[in-house]
Structure formats: structure tokens, C-alpha cells
Amino acid sequence: MAFALCLRAMPLINTVLQYFEPIAHALLLSGLAFFVLVEGRSPRISAPPDKWPRLQIHVGLYVLGAVTMALVFEPLNTQAMVWGAALGWSGIAGADWPTWAKIIAGVLAMDLLQYLLHVLSHYVPWWWRLHKIHHSDTFMDASTSIRHHPLETLVNAFVLVLLMAALQIPIYAIALYALLQQFHALFCHSNLNLPLGVDKYLRWIVVTPDMHAVHHSVRMDEGNSNFGMVFPWWDHIFRSYCAAPRVGRLGMRFGITELAATRQMHVLDLLGFPFWRVRPAVAKAPVVAVKPKRSKRRH
């Protein structure tokens, strides 16, 4: 019975895969509209006055990223698949496993790859210059999830396709994870007032908004934690988990110190920001020569 249902579903799945990109864009924008509505009704923190200008900036970056991918990614995608498949390994797709096991293994492999790439984007200097656009937001809500530099989107996609081809992750697992991760990115960045009791248990299954908020802390000792995309287990396994910011969720600040005293940047500013030479917001204290105190002599 299950096999027959799978066969009946195959034409539908193939149709979805054929039109996956426009379907994914439509679902993301619909999901964003949903979260904006829900955040307005039950916010974790009151939204800043520039909520709507921020949303326009984030949508602008998303559109530019989508256009960039549509224009230049096809040859990069082909090359990444060729290089990735050069190992000649049958990978997950060629394993003698049931289809459901391949899909679960593929989804977990995708999430682990996303975790590792996220860690690299924080510690590889040129990658961080692109990724810090995402972290430069001084507030966090669902729209922050689409605040990415187009070049970062391009780099991430190229490396991810190369690794997916090397591991031979099944296409159905890739499509399932892509939709899951897309919706979850909106959720974990959202400004939802999730009950603490729900968050306490939910964060053992998926990354929650309060858990991911720590990752967006202006303090980089906190920002370099909680790298998980959908599932939180990798942070526990690799010891990059941080339960909460030191000053608490309501007292923490978002953003990066480089822009602590900078006005709100618009789309063109953010596109050029990775190429700026920005002085650190907190300069090192000057070295001051201190004369030693003379000891009192006893007579």
C-alpha cells in the first residue's frame, strides 16, 4: 500500500521539483507575511520604529540575491556538481537502504553541512566579511532571515552543491530540507513571544527564537555559538551551545560592534559594507606610563 501511494505521488513530486525555485520563493514570501502578522500581535520585544524600512531593506537584499542566483549560478552549479561527483562514490543515494532511511539520512547530512558552513562563515575572514551583513541587524525578527549579501548567497550555494554532490544526497531529501530550512529560518529569527515552558522543551528538537537570538548577540563570545540551522544537536555535539545571553534575552543587544555608532544602512550601503575598511567600535585603551611609587624609608 505504501509503495503504491509513493508511486502515485511521484508525478506530483516531480512537478514540484520542476518548478521548485518559484514555489520556494512564493512559500518564503508567504511565510514572511504570516510571521510579520503574528509578530505584530504577540511580539517578544516591542518592534523598533524602523520596522517597515528594515523590512523593505531585507526584501530588497533577498530580491537581489535571487536575481544574482538566476543570472550567474547555472554554470557554477554545473561545475560544483562535476567536482563533487569526481570522487565516484555512490553516497547516500546509492546505499542499499529503504527510501525513507535515505531521506532521513539526507536531511540530517544537509543540516550538518549547513552547521559546518555556518561555523566557517564566522571564522574564515573573507567569508565573515560577507556574512556579517546578516549579523549587522540591530533587531531580530523574521525578516532578518533574508538579510544576506548576494555574494554570500552565491558562495554558500556553490559550496553546498559541491558537498551535496560529493555525498550523493538524494534529490528528494534536498528538496524536503530546503523547504524545511526555509520555513524554520523565518521561525528561529522571529520575534514571537514563545512561552518559556514551550521553548525549554522545543529547543531539544529544533532551534528556537530565544536560542538563535544568542547567536545574534553583539558580544562575539556569544555570537560565536548556536550555529545550528534547524536541529540543535550539532551545537551540543561540538560544544558550541550557549543557553542564554549573560544579560538575559530582554537585556541583550543585537548587531556588530563595527557599526555601533553608525546610522541605519540601506541596501547600497550593505552591498558595499564587506569592502569597507571599518575601524573597531571599541578601540584599545592607550598605554599610559605609570611611575612607580617610592617606598617610604624607615629611619
Which ranges of the chain have pLDDT less than 70? 1-18, 260-264, 278-299
User: How confident is the model over 16-62, as pLDDT tens digits?
Assistant: 556 778 888 899 999 999 999 999 999 999 998 888 999 999 999 99
User: How confident is the model over 167-178, as pLDDT tens digits?
Assistant: 999 988 998 999
Domain membership of residue 294 (yes or no) is no
pLDDT of residue 259: 73
Q: What is the pTM of this model?
A: 0.84
* Contact criterion met (CB below 8 Å) for 92 and 99: no
Domain membership of residue 212 (yes or no) is yes
Residue 147: partners with Cβ closer than 8 Å, 6 or more residues away: 57, 58, 61, 133, 134, 136, 137
Nearest CA to 179 among 11, 70, 30, 10? 30
pLDDT of residue 249: 87
Domain membership of residue 171 (yes or no) is yes
pLDDT of residue 270: 92
**DSSP string computed for 15-39:** HHHHTHHHHHHHHHHHHHHHHHHHH
pLDDT of residue 70: 87
* Contact criterion met (CB below 8 Å) for 31 and 182: yes
pLDDT of residue 17: 59
pLDDT of residue 74: 79
Give, in order, the Cα–Cα distances in Å from 9 to each of 30, 104, 182: 25, 18, 23
Nearest CA to 264 among 130, 127, 147? 147
What is the domain extent for residue 68? 61-275
Nearest CA to 35 among 115, 146, 123, 166? 146
Domain membership of residue 44 (yes or no) is no
Domain count, the chain: 1
pLDDT of residue 82: 81
Domain membership of residue 250 (yes or no) is yes
Domain membership of residue 85 (yes or no) is yes
Domain membership of residue 299 (yes or no) is no
Domain membership of residue 32 (yes or no) is no
pLDDT of residue 14: 58
